[in-house]
Amino acid sequence: MKLRNINGTSDTTCKCGSWLLHWKKFGGSSLPEFCPETGCVQKDLVGAHVQLGGGSTDQRWYICPLCSRHNKHVGELSVTDTIKLVSASKAATCDR
Ligand SMILES: [Zn+2]
Ligand SMILES: [Zn+2]
């Protein structure tokens, strides 16, 4: 699936402690061993803010684990289809 990285989010954390912990908590899945970007084998994962790419009309913000390099990537990324996206909306998750 295609994701679009949202760069420059000032929202560095949430009540969960980090966006990576947020992803774990609300995604209910364990962290992938490697960055889910196709072909990437980095393990320094962070919780990245993303939107669906590939011309999707879904404009919502999601959290997806990505390595720190891909977290700085500008534009679209190709990630494995099995990776879970978790809502980045605090109102819908940890701020309830
Ligand atoms: Zn949270
Ligand atoms: Zn990566």
**pLDDT tens-place string over residues 49-74:** 999 999 999 999 999 999 999 999 98
Contact status, residue 83 vs residue 3, Cβ threshold 8 Å: no
Extents of the domains making up the chain? 2-90
Residue 71 Cα to ligand 2 midpoint, Å, equals 8
User: Does residue 12 surpass a pLDDT of 90?
Assistant: no
Residue 86 Cα to ligand 1 midpoint, Å, equals 10
- What is d(CA 62, CA 76) in angstroms, rounded to the nearest whole number? 14
What's the confidence (pLDDT) of residue 54? 94
Closest-approaching ligand to the CA atom of 67: 2
Average of pLDDT values for 83-95?
95
pLDDT band at 11 (very low <50, low <70, confident <90, very high): confident
Residue 18 Cα to ligand 2 midpoint, Å, equals 18
Closest-approaching ligand to the CA atom of 17: 1
Burial class (CB in 10 A: 0-12, 13-18, 19+), 73: middle
